[in-house]
């Protein structure tokens, strides 16, 4: 007789607001595809309840969970340890239970580097990043750890831009500089990778454009956008028309999910299944 088992392994996402976060769709698509009897729950957690939620996850034997706005920094005080990039960035988006210890990782930047690595080796690359928020911080730190040699942070607000440059100089070996974004920006000659890490172009403001002199983009530059919805942004379209290799925001989103599933389950999931599940959800929004 087969032994019956009604107990599923638990993972999830803690955030507030969280109801529009689509991560569950791609993670559970992967669980089903790989016959994993696991669940990924989308859970609204208010900041004042975060400690109780983390303790509760530990008590209930969660294998791990993602943290999103506003918990990426505040969750650190409740964890047992941090992975390398999470400790450099001081931000956690993925908690993993290892031998009963909750360890904070940051997979946002790793997801980006993974997408880029499918096209080129990040080592030795000179990058230009638009934005200096959470996504820009994750990408620039991970690119530095992957061996990129120079990063220009282009940002509207000076304080955030200079803050990120200071962090990169203090904690990584990348040569970092700041450029204030107060008019059409010209991409410097010799740039290898151009990255939009701002929220410009995110649904519903899908016609928003980056203030760039597009004639300074050349086909030798790789162009990436973090916007997952819609993945076909003005930047991605324009760069592709110019002959640049491009990476869209779904690539990064899917790859950070792939890394999370690997950490939690040990299974290397099929990114195609996850991407298709997300595309399905987003296509319903148009």
Which chain residues interact with ligand NDP by CB under 6 A?
108, 111, 131-136, 155-157, 160, 197-200, 202, 226-228, 249, 252-253, 256
Q: Tokens in use for 189? A: 């000659």
Of 140 and 191, CB closest to ligand NDP: 140
Of 9 and 83, CB closest to ligand NDP: 83
Are the beta carbons of 43 and 17 closer than 8 angstroms? Answer: no
Q: Which of 72, 123, 180, 262 is catalytic?
A: 72
Of 103 and 164, CB closest to ligand NDP: 164
Q: How far is CA 61 from CA 10, 99, 161, 267, in A?
A: 7, 11, 40, 19
Closest residue (Cβ) to ligand NDP? 133
CB atoms within 10 A of CB 270: 14
**Which stretches of 34-185 are DSSP H helices?**
50-59, 84-89, 108-117, 134-145, 158-171
**Which residues, in sequence order, are bridge partners of residue 151?**
127, 176
Known active-site residue 110: no
Question: Could you tell me the smallest distance in angstroms from the CB atom of residue 76 to ligand NDP?
Answer: 17
Question: Could you tell me the smallest distance in angstroms from the CB atom of residue 160 to ligand NDP?
Answer: 4
Q: How far apart are the first and last CA of the chain?
A: 50
Question: Could you tell me the smallest distance in angstroms from the CB atom of residue 212 to ligand NDP?
Answer: 11
Of 217 and 252, CB closest to ligand NDP: 252
Residues 183, 187, 189, 195, Cα dihedral to 10°: 160
Question: Could you tell me the smallest distance in angstroms from the CB atom of residue 230 to ligand NDP?
Answer: 11
Residues annotated as catalytic (active site), given as ranges: 72
């Amino acid at each position: 007789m087969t032994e019956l088992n009604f107990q599923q392994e638990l993972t999830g996402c803690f955030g507030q607001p969280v109801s529009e976060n689509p991560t569950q769709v791609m993670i559970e698509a992967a669980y089903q595809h790989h016959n994993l009897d696991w669940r990924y729950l989308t859970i609204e957690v208010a900041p004042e309840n975060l400690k109780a939620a983390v303790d509760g996850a530990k008590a209930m034997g969660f294998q791990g969970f993602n943290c999103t706005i506003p918990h990426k920094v505040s969750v650190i005080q409740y964890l047992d340890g941090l992975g390398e990039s999470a400790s450099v960035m001081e931000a956690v988006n993925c908690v993993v239970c290892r031998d009963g210890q909750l360890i904070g990782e940051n997979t946002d930047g790793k997801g980006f580097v993974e997408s880029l690595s499918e096209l080129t080796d990040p080592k030795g690359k000179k990058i230009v990043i638009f934005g200096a928020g959470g996504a820009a911080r994750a990408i620039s730190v991970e690119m530095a750890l992957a061996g990129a040699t120079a990063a220009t942070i282009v940002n509207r607000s000076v304080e955030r831009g200079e803050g990120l440059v200071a962090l990169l100089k203090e904690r990584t070996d990348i040569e970092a500089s700041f450029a204030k974004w107060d008019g059409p920006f010209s991409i410097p000659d010799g740039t290898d990778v151009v990255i939009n890490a701002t929220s410009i172009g995110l649904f519903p403001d899908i016609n928003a454009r980056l203030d760039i002199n597009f004639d300074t983009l050349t086909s030798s530059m790789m162009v990436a956008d973090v916007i997952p919805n819609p993945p076909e942004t003005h930047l991605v379209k324009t760069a592709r028309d110019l002959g640049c290799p491009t990476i869209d925001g779904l690539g990064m989103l899917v790859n950070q999910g792939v890394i999370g599933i690997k950490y939690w389950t040990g299974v290397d999931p099929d990114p195609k299944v996850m991407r298709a599940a997300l595309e399905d959800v987003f296509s319903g929004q148009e």
